[in-house]
Structure 1
Amino acid sequence: IYGQASGGSTPYTYTLTDLSSNTTTTLQSPGGMNSTPTLTSTTQYTISVMDANGCQNGPQMIVVNVRPALTAIGTTYTSCATHTVNMAPMITSVGNGGPYTYNWTGGATTASNIVTANYLGNSPGLNPNTYTVTINDGCSIPGTFATFSVYVNPLPDARFTPTLSQGCAPLTVVFNGIGDSTTTNSNPFFWTFSGGTEPSSPILNPKTIGFPIAGSYSLTLTVTNKYGCQQLIAQPKVVDVWPVPVAGFFADPGSASLMEPTIHFTNTSTNAAAYVWDFGDYSNANTNTATTMNANHLYSYIGVYQIYLVAINAKGCKDTATGTIEITPDMGVYIPNAFTPDGNGRNDVFFPYGYGISEDKYKMEIYDRWGELIFTSTEFKKGWDGTVKGSETIAQDGVYIYKIMITDLENNKKNYVGHVTLIKQ
């Protein structure tokens, strides 16, 4: 507290009174007055002055405002290893209102005039890391300080293994996440794929995913341990899915008779490098397969045959095409033009013969030259012995008309009309 008188006659006598304690301080000086009391709260004073002649001035009121001391507090943090912690003290009493200076200890970033210290946690353990900041406002002496405690939890140490890393489309892969002693919490794994179809939840472990389309696929695995600390595992090319060829063929003809049973197979496959044919003809194992691009096969028996073509590309990926061909029975009919019903056992009976004939769907009729029906048979092996209408009388020599109705094994009907000569000897 400073007082300065002027005029009158020196020396001056100053009287300073503390009104809160009614304490008076007297000081004689040829000049001014200076008092340095220690105060803890706002205090009122009066000051008066008297010169050497006894002339007096005052008292005058002086109010000394004392602000509260600067105070601050720190915080306790829990963090994960390698993470950054921003530590900022909270000033609970502003002191003179600043500006403030800050000085950190304990290994954190140290600088003046900053509020925040960044801590890069990389030493997990049970004991906290302690940091102290000293704050000064230029008024409070020695200032104040705040203490911070940082507990560091470890990151999970995790990895994964796939059952396959490459293969032909469609490819199904099972990924198994492997954690450590800190991943005992429920659902520590979260899977993210760049493609594919997920038949199961992304938090399941092991994780099954299908890749129906060829390409390279990436994986991001986020592992969270029981402390809430996370590790991110990113692998850009975790699965390589190869394309498959497209198998195809056509048969020419698609159906053939046993008389001409050779079938030509034309390969229409794409993106293939090798081929395996299976003609479905197991009557001859030596000729039932082929490895040429196009193929021919000779069938020996009637029937419907299942054909398989396996197309294989350079990666060994396969595709199979199937189809059927049919070998039908051909019908051959031979009808004699004469017979001699003389009982000598040679050429005594007139009847057709051949192959591919349905014997239970057969009928033969014989007419004389006047158009009269003289013989009928529905049994393929029962021919005309020359008798007339079931009698024992042999017809006269001459030319007779036959009408034969034959059905093949495919139920195709055909009628034959012609002449046969009966010769008696």
Structure 2
Amino acid sequence: MKTGHYFSILFLLIGSLAFSQGLNISIISPKQDTAICPGETLNLEAVTAFLITDFDNQAIGTGWSSSQANPVYTNPCGPGPKNWHLWVGTTPSASRTLVTNPYDLTDGNACYVQFWMRYGLEPGLGPCEDPDEPNEGVHLQYSTNGGATWLDFSGPSVLPVGNLNTTPPFYTQTPGSGGYWVPILTAASQLTSTLYHWNLYRCPIPQAAISPNTQFRWAQLANSAAGFDAWGIDEVIIGCDPGSILWNTGNTTTTDTVTPTTSTTYWVSVTDSNMKVAYDTVHVIVGSVYDIHDTVYKCEGDFYPLPTGNNVTNPGTYISQVTSQYGCDSVVHTYLYNNPVYQNTIIDTICSGDVYILPDGSQAQQSGLYIDTLPTFHGCDSAIITRLTILPSSYITTEVYLCQGQPYTLPGGITVTQSGVYLDTLLAQNGCDSIIETTLNYWPTYNITKDTAICYGNEYLLPDNSVVNASGSYTVHLFTDKGCDSIITTNLIVNLALSTEAVFENYNCFDSTWVGAYSIGGQPPYRYRWSNGSLNQGIPEPQTGSMWVEVTDSFGCQAMDTIIIPQRVDYDFFSLIPDTLWYTDEPVKISVSTTAPVKKWYWLVDSTVEIGSQSFYFHFTQAGWHRMDCRITTFDTCTRDTSFFIYLKPKYDYSMPNAFTPDGDGLNDTYYPILNPESDINYILRIYNRWGELVFTGHNEGWNGLIRGTGSEAGAGVYIYIISTDNPTNGTSAHGKPDRGHLTLIR
């Protein structure tokens, strides 16, 4: 049984006598049901309060209206009175104040505010920096007008008498009191001040604070900045002395002492002047104490773990003190006995190479001492020792290496041709077999065929270090490092030559441009890589300047090409053809000019005749309109086209045919001048035979082959014509002279 320990349970009566908050009670220390051992004493305590906050939930909790101090609950400056506490000063805050809800104090007895508090104790910027100016301390204040005005608690500010430790446990003989605690300037004095260590404060609520709407706050009204002048509070209780208290034990004070013998539920009630009642309960479990007697059998030499955790091997009686559930002392008596174990020895021999079966069923082939452990009837291990001797026998090993295909005769006279381990067994004098082990190894000979390919233009190194660069089958005879003959046949394929051409295409003279690579040969598909990092076959709108492209086929063969991307130049045409009246049979000069240099000229005259110069003379034989088409190719591979028409007038008003056939077939039956459609001349045609005789005269009329006056047909042959016009300047004869010539009449 645990002795010398007392347990205290503190009940909290939340509320007050006739207060608007009502009466409540809850357990605060411990905050749950508890357990004790038989014979132990339990101290019960009850207290009434409006507010109790321990910050163990790492939050401000209920009962507070604001916490503008922006506190933290992580114990940044070490442990507090119990679990987590509230700490101010490590984070920025608009106002370092902690304000409670309003409470009705008008119907209470003597009321108080109780809390644990300490100031920071480390100079310099940090979460524990010390308040060291007279105005940087913490005020305990009250307000009875909704927070419009705040007043410090009255009476002198008294420091507590008690704890100067920085680690728990913390204790206070006399709590501090008052409404403001002035900071201490020097670090040395702070170390000896209870204000800078966790201590209890219990401050009576002033009579002036008694109102139906009283609020309380902790306020630091001056500080240097965030990270300076830190302080903390914990275990806050605001309450009044209770009214009528009754325990189910019959006790009527705030505390009671009990020594339960069985698990018991205790309750406490409080009654105010208006006969309102509040109560709470706590369940106390009384643990059990045991006296156990245990008999144990073990094998001789084994260890046995006692309940205390100690291991023992000798038989005997062992008494162990142990802790049962809920921490109560119990006694275990252990009566320990040993079961016997045994040991036997066997001596035996076998021939080398034979297998010996040990008592546990395992096999042995080596001389030695074998110990087998087998269980007895009681389950204890017993040992059987086998002393085994291996009688000697000869075991000869030999290793032979031959080229593949050569025969070998073993010591027993058998000829073999396969690799392997061969055993010949002989009988020794001691009756044991002697063994000759022959390991036969064949060095390999090779007949290897290798298919490979190379890129066009590369060379291939054969196994005999000869170099080839053409497709074919190459056979090489070699000896291995063991002297065995081997054949290596290489089937070589030279891939088709890979080539690529970078082409610049200029659509509509830089309205849209493109550069691409065209590849042939090798083994498709092809992969492309341009100097600008592109991996596409073509690049739209390439930049001006030099570019290269590298193409790789599926065999890894490569080819490259380089191209110059020209700068864009616009061209305009200017005709150099003079505005002159042209006539047929006279050379006409055709020419145009451009605004930039031209690499190549190409002309089409009437869509048929091709000419390749900038300007030229051309003889037109027919009057009328003639189409002129011109295409230029610039040095940037751009082409430009232009077209225009010229009109040619005939040089003469007419022309004379040199034959006709007046046979009545409707074709070429009449001889007459061929007039220019644009001329409007009048003419007189005269026909003479070879003897000078006039056979026809006509005014604007042709000859039908009949002799005028007789109507008879003129004979076939050569005749002379003379034609006179009223516009001699455009006749076929010079300026006013009649035109004459020969014609042939064909019948």
TM-score (norm 1): 0.31
Q: Which has the larger radius of gyration?
A: 2
TM-score (norm 2): 0.19
